Structure 1
């Protein structure tokens, strides 16, 4: 099977856009990712998947913790910065939730401790035990078919 065909098919699945963040002795670090999902309600677990050569991989292994930050439709610039697509002159400031760095203004901030990790293909899958959550009332940033997208505002019929 052709790699491009596979990538195009997987890219057809619309996802939210997240920034995975962690902190080591060298400071806070973040990376844009869409390989995120909830895994369990009891206990509260989430899954992230990082490519085996991602710089973030060693940082999460060192810290043993991470946060998942679901970006709002107004945070496309942060997605591009943390994806390494653009350089930012300004320093990115983090807030903290249960001692983990989080992106201010993200519509969901999910703080996690690493519970387990698995090697599958060319990725490492981390299972995170959720330790805290913070929510904001904003619309999500969406990614599908290689483009950023937004949701139409819901209209309630009267």
Structure 2
């Protein structure tokens, strides 16, 4: 079997990857008493035993150094009601009201998130133009709400949720 080594167009690749529907998260941490947050959809579960998750952070993101310094972070999985929070932490929106944070397991978290996963930094891997952080799970909070989804450059909602309970 012969494999062609063709250059893949950047725009085509981005569009194809953007076709994969994902949830939306805000990664939060605290350094020297200051809360930092970043919208991300590059998040996944890695292992059940031990409980590990992964996030991917671009090399130019300020969050990169904040996680390295804090050595811990929280993943806030957003609800369908939290589009503004997603836009705020991605730099697309400057909310007139200040976002308030709660504290859980020593980390700042967004109130009313669908789920929160707190982690200590387990390991990190520089891969291409991103760093993949593996987090050792220290806590989980879960609510019964509809998720915020993102696909093809737009926020989406599930038309019908099967039994959330």
State the match for 2:29 in structure 1.
Answer: 22
Match of 1:152 among 129, 137, 159: 159
Answering whether residue 50 of structure 2 is matched by residue 63 of structure 1, we say: no
Where do 4+ consecutive residues of structure 1 move more than 6 Å?
A: none
Q: Could you state the TM-score of these two structures normalised by the residue count of structure 2?
A: 0.92
User: What's the CA shift for 1:154?
Assistant: 2.7
Q: 1:35 & 1:130 partners in 2: Cα distance?
A: 17
Q: 1:3 aligns with which of 7, 10, 14?
A: 10
- Structure-1 separation of matches of 2:57 and 2:81: 25
> What residue ranges of structure 2 are gaps of 5+ in the alignment?
1-7
CA RMSD of aligned residues (A): 1.0
CA distance in 1: counterparts of 2:152 and 2:49, whole angstroms: 33
Report how far residue 96 of structure 1 moved.
1.2
Q: Determine helix, strand or coil for the equivalent of 2:92.
A: coil
Q: Equivalent residue of 1:7, what SS?
A: helix
Unmatched tracts of structure 1, length 5 or more: none
Deviation at residue 92 of structure 1 after TM alignment: 1.2
Residue 37 of structure 1 aligns with which residue?
A: 44
- The Cα of 1:90 is off from its aligned counterpart by 1.6
SS of 1:85's partner is: coil
Instruction: Give the equivalent residue in structure 1 for 2:115.
Output: 108
Q: TM-score, normalised by structure 1?
A: 0.96
Shift of 1:155: 5.0
Between the aligned partners of 2:15 and 2:162, the Cα distance in structure 1 is: 32
| DSSP-derived class of the 2:13 partner | helix
Give the stretch that moved more between structures: 84-93 or 112-121.
84-93
**Secondary structure of 2:12 counterpart:** helix
Aligned residues: 156
- Residue number in structure 1 paired with 2:3: none
Structure with greater Cα Rg: 2
